[in-house]
Amino acid sequence: MNKLSITDLDLKGKRVFIRVDFNVPIKDARVEDDSRIRGALPTIQYALDHEARVILASHLGRPKGERNEKYSLRPVAEHLSELLGKPVYFVGDCIGDEVKAKVGALKDGEVLLLENLRFHAEEEKNDEAFARELASLCDLYVNDAFGAAHRAHASTAGITKFVQQAAAGLLMQKELDYLGRVINSPEHPFVAILGGAKVSDKIPVINALIDRKIDKLLIGGAMAYTFFKAQGFTVGKSLVEDEMMPTALEIIKRAEEANVELLLPTDHQVVDSYDPLKSKKTIPVEFTNAGLVGLDIGAETVAHFSTALRDAKTVIWNGPMGVFEEKELGFDEGTIGVARAVAEAADRGATVVVGGGDSVAAITQAGVADRITHISTGGGATLEFLAGDELPGVAALNAK
Binding site for ligand AMP (CB under 6 A): 196-198, 201, 221-222, 239, 294-295, 319-320, 322-325, 356, 358
Considering the candidates 65, 291, 380, 388, report the single residue annotated as catalytic. Answer: 380
Considering the candidates 14, 15, 36, 174, report the single residue annotated as catalytic. Answer: 36
Instruction: Please name the amino acid found at residue 380.
Output: G
Residue nearest to ligand AMP (CB): 196
Ranges of beta strands (E only) in the chain are 15-19, 26-27, 30-31, 53-57, 88-91, 111-114, 140-143, 165-168, 190-194, 216-219, 261-263, 267-272, 281-284, 292-297, 314-318, 351-355, 374-375
Ramachandran category for residue 85: left, alpha or beta (phi over 0 → left; psi -120 to 50 → alpha) = left
CA distances from 146 to 8, 32, 36 (A): 19, 21, 11
Considering the complex, what minimum distance in angstroms separates the CB of residue 105 from ligand AMP? 43
Considering the complex, what minimum distance in angstroms separates the CB of residue 362 from ligand AMP? 11
**CB 346: neighbour CB atoms within 10 A?**
22
- Active site (annotated) includes residue 118: no
Considering the complex, what minimum distance in angstroms separates the CB of residue 351 from ligand AMP? 22
Considering the candidates 198, 237, 280, 313, report the single residue annotated as catalytic. Answer: 198
Query: Which lies closer to ligand AMP via its Cβ, residue 300 or residue 311?
Result: 300
- Active site (annotated) includes residue 36: yes
- Active site (annotated) includes residue 62: no
- Active site (annotated) includes residue 198: yes
Query: Which lies closer to ligand AMP via its Cβ, residue 315 or residue 362?
Result: 362
Query: Which lies closer to ligand AMP via its Cβ, residue 135 or residue 342?
Result: 342
3-state SS of 130-157? Answer: HHHHHHCCCCEEEECCHHHCCCCCCCCC
Considering the candidates 61, 65, 109, 357, report the single residue annotated as catalytic. Answer: 357
Considering the complex, what minimum distance in angstroms separates the CB of residue 18 from ligand AMP? 28
- Alpha carbon distance 352, 182 (integer Å): 9
Query: Which lies closer to ligand AMP via its Cβ, residue 122 or residue 358?
Result: 358
Query: Which lies closer to ligand AMP via its Cβ, residue 102 or residue 268?
Result: 268
- DSSP code per residue over 342-362: HHHHHHTT-EEEEESHHHHHH
Q: Is 89 helix (H, G, I), strand (E, B) or coil?
A: strand
- Alpha carbon distance 268, 281 (integer Å): 8
Considering the complex, what minimum distance in angstroms separates the CB of residue 217 from ligand AMP? 16
Catalytically active residues are 36, 198, 357, 380
